[in-house]
Structure 1
Amino acid sequence: MPAYLTRHGTADGPRWALDGYYLPADFSLGAWLARPLDEAYAWLAAQPLGDAADAPLLAPIEDAQEAWASGVTYLSSRMAREAESQSADVYQKVYGAERPELFFKANGWRVRGHGQPIRIRGDSGWNVPEPELVLLLDATGAIRGHAVGNDVSSRSIEGENPLYLPQAKVYDGACAIGPGIALGRADELRDLPVTLRIERAGAAVFAGETRTSQIKRGLEELAGFLFRELAFPQGAFLFTGTGIVPGEDFTLQAGDVVRIGIGGLALENPVS
């Protein structure tokens, strides 16, 4: 896959790679996202490449960057939230409103990468993965690429009261992004296949699929609202919502393996 960025855990610390080869040790994703779009790609292409990147993958986000998320952007998500919630009208209203639901998900240093364990809350009895297209946004809010994301969530806590959303969404091991970043334009992301497969003891216990064309809002629209009153000098990552929601009879368990595919990218995480 051309123009593909990955981040690796080397003996000398995190290191970025382009198309499978290490970039200079001082390369920073945040610094690249701060460069004007009209010069950024030429500058990236001019970087000297080193050895093949063979160290383990890390989440493709830097410590100082943030991951944010969009909620109720698919009809299936709205219907699932209504079913679980004691305040169903909240989700009906936000699905049809001009303003989208946006919420903070994780600091970069909290995000888990491909192969790293995700977690379920110990005080929640109903927990699910949420497979999502994740946008890479530069310092102006322009879309420069995408990754696969897992917005691990406690449905029981959010369903009890929507004001508990931060506790349902933000905790250790609740956010995974990977395996890397496919650089490209927003037009290339509007109709990608999205798949979710959850395995338990080697057998599939849930599988589902959708397409990013089912997202109700425009990708640029979501990015625009995030950047409306917030500055991200080193760029940001934005989850765009989930269209695959396991039924009320399913909850994640320790030992499960969650596999999410979007386009040509695949993210896999065990549940601890």
Structure 2
Amino acid sequence: MGTNIIPNGILLGRARVPGQTLPRVVTVRDGKLVDITAKGFATVRDIAESGKAAEHVRTAPGTELADIDAVLANSVAGKGGDDVPVLLSPIDLQAIKASGVTFVVSLLERVIEEQARGDKSRADALRSEILELIGTDLSQLVPGSEPAMKVKAALIGKGVWSQYLEVGIGPDAEIFTKSQPMSSVGYGAEVGLHPISSWNNPEPEVAVLVTSKGEIVGATLGNDVNLRDVEGRSALLLGKAKDNNASASLGPFIRLFDGEFTLETVKQAEIALHVEGTDGFVLEGASNMCQISRTPESLVAATIGEHHQYPDGLVLYLGTMFAPVKDRDGAGKGFTHKIGDTVSISTPSLGTLTNTVNLSTQCPPWTYGTSHLLRDLARADLL
């Protein structure tokens, strides 16, 4: 059953079913994709907010749709037929948020982007210079702590202080809106790069499912597609760098916490990345969640609380430590995506999320939004 793609556990997702416009809420049982859409539980949001998400998904009556292997094969961009369901992003009405600069490697690469002003040819020299200047193992610092503030003061004195160092070791986490509700893409879909970018990369991450009460109830994999040159030119271009058509992927399913799979499991996960290009280029790397500098709980608390409410809940990307620097087109040129790259993000507890890279202008346009979902739910008498 979807070897290394679909994990064991209580899985929650969405699928497009032939002949229906309404996305179906689904789970996996005994190698089959099962439709569990029901009145009162017709959206992933409804199930997450029920207070009994794992129990509901485990016991809900359902209708078998197809073998999960057939669904996975049919979900790959460009290969889908009309007779088998296709997996969608496993969330619907939730806000899509992300946290940045939560790993020291990512922190240093963001500083390099900023100093390079979006010019990837300067990255190698800047990397050596900045590491020499910092001269401290930032991974041992607790953000906002007294030792962290001393490092901050020392770096200001050396003239290398950065907005990325501020959110990396300062008291406040970077939390931003990655994309809009209903706009994320799922397993097998194309992920989009804005055409203006010539220096970009995948960001393999864990994303947690959070209720309107701030409770973390599950997790999935995500690709927080990043345009290094655009954000490097100015942090004020973060929206342009991060929120584009098909720039947020999630999946293949949300795995709900059930006693066996918990937030502690997530904290110990090692996230593997594999990129393979049509040019034969292969890039591999890993991001271990145990090296995150801010806990998932603290990142969620920085996102939702008395200062900001999310009545439909949210999904929060937790950040990545993986910033690829492997040369692709010659010495010193570093890594950037090419159209047709296949990106796979995996960990045993959450499975594998695979997407193919394209320009955001060439990916299927986002046309099914919240209003369409509500109308379809009303027509099906599921509201």
TM-score, normalised to structure 1's length? 0.93
Tell me the secondary structure at the aligned position of residue 6 of structure 1: strand
Tell me the secondary structure at the aligned position of residue 242 of structure 1: coil
Residue equivalent to 1:80: 109
Tell me the distance in 1 between the aligned counterparts of 2:101 and 2:268.
Answer: 18
Residue equivalent to 1:32: 47
Q: Which of 354, 371, 374 matches 1:268?
A: 354
Identity of aligned residues (%): 29
Tell me the distance in 2 between the aligned counterparts of 1:131 and 1:221.
Answer: 20
Q: Which has the larger helix fraction?
A: 2
Q: Which of 115, 131, 137 matches 2:204?
A: 131
1:70 equivalent to 2:99? Answer: yes
Tell me the distance in 2 between the aligned counterparts of 1:208 and 1:136.
Answer: 25
Unmatched segments (≥5 aa) in structure 1: none
Tell me the distance in 2 between the aligned counterparts of 1:43 and 1:209.
Answer: 34
Residue equivalent to 2:123: none
Tell me the distance in 1 between the aligned counterparts of 2:56 and 2:192.
Answer: 38
Cα root mean square deviation, aligned: 1.7
Q: Is the 8 A contact 1:138 1:234 kept in 2?
A: yes
1:4 equivalent to 2:11? Answer: yes
1:209 equivalent to 2:222? Answer: no
Tell me the distance in 1 between the aligned counterparts of 2:280 and 2:38.
Answer: 41
Following superposition of structure 1 onto structure 2, how do residues 220-235 of structure 1 map, counting pairs within 5 Å? 220-228=297-305, 229-235=307-313
2:91 maps to a residue whose letter is I
Deviation digits for residues 162-187 of structure 1, max 9, x if unmatched? 11111111111211111111111312
Tell me the secondary structure at the aligned position of residue 237 of structure 2: helix
Q: Which of 23, 27, 43 matches 2:36?
A: 23
1:255 equivalent to 2:315? Answer: no
Q: Between Structure 1 and Structure 2, whose CA radius of gyration is higher? A: 2
Residue equivalent to 2:323: 245
Unmatched segments (≥5 aa) in structure 2: 1-7, 72-84, 116-159, 326-332, 359-383
Tell me the distance in 1 between the aligned counterparts of 2:213 and 2:357.
Answer: 35
1:157 equivalent to 2:238? Answer: no
Q: Aligned residues, how many?
A: 269
Q: Is the 8 A contact 2:54 2:256 kept in 1?
A: no
Tell me the distance in 2 between the aligned counterparts of 1:206 and 1:46.
Answer: 41
Tell me the secondary structure at the aligned position of residue 8 of structure 1: strand
TM-score, normalised to structure 2's length? 0.67
Structure 1 runs (4+) deviating above 6 angstroms are none
Tell me the secondary structure at the aligned position of residue 180 of structure 1: strand
Question: 1:25 Cα deviation (Å)?
Answer: 4.4
Tell me the distance in 2 between the aligned counterparts of 1:189 and 1:144.
Answer: 12
